[in-house]
């Protein structure tokens, strides 16, 4: 069953459970009005690059934290750059502790404005 066939009241659970979804469905859901849906898309390893780019600019930090924790971000340099520049400490910590984040990206977090992010990056690099 594709997400398009999921009843609206089960959509969030279906996204979180990894229900099969087309790239177009995930791209559309990345622009949902519901932050919980955007957060769930941000956590999916199969989220397409264009969805990751949109989600890296989300106004809700919980969406960006889910994205920074997603191992799929390692494949998109522009998204990594946006997350490194994010001023929210939780986003920086999530990126620093993401095992897929490239070492060079984690090194860039050593210059972050928040001490907690710098500490997380230093610990990861130790």
pLDDT in tens, 87-113: 999 999 999 999 999 999 999 999 999
Cα(23)–Cα(9) distance, rounded to whole angstroms? Answer: 21
Give percent of the chain above pLDDT 90: 79
> What would the mean pLDDT of 2-17 be, rounded to a whole number?
75
Query: Token digits for 12?
Result: 């969030």
> What would the mean pLDDT of 6-33 be, rounded to a whole number?
84
Contact 56, 32 (CB under 8 A): no
* pTM for the model: 0.90
Range of the domain at 109: 3-125
Please report, for residues 17, 22, 55, the alpha-carbon distance to residue 59 in angstroms, rounded to integers and kept in the order given. Answer: 24, 25, 9
Instruction: Give the per-residue pLDDT at 19.
Output: 79
- Count of the separate structural domains present in the chain: 1
């Amino acid at each position: 069953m594709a997400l398009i066939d999921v009843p609206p009241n089960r959509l969030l659970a279906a996204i979180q459970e990894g229900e099969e979804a087309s790239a177009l469905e995930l791209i559309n859901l990345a622009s949902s009005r519901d932050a919980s849906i955007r957060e769930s898309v941000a956590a999916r390893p199969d989220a397409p690059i264009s969805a990751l780019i949109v989600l890296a600019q989300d106004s809700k930090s919980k969406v960006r934290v889910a994205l920074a924790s997603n191992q799929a971000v390692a494949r998109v340099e522009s998204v990594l750059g946006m997350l490194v520049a994010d001023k929210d400490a939780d986003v920086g910590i999530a990126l620093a502790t993401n095992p897929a984040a490239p070492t060079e990206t984690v090194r860039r977090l050593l210059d972050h404005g928040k001490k907690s992010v710098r500490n997380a990056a230093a610990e990861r690099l130790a």
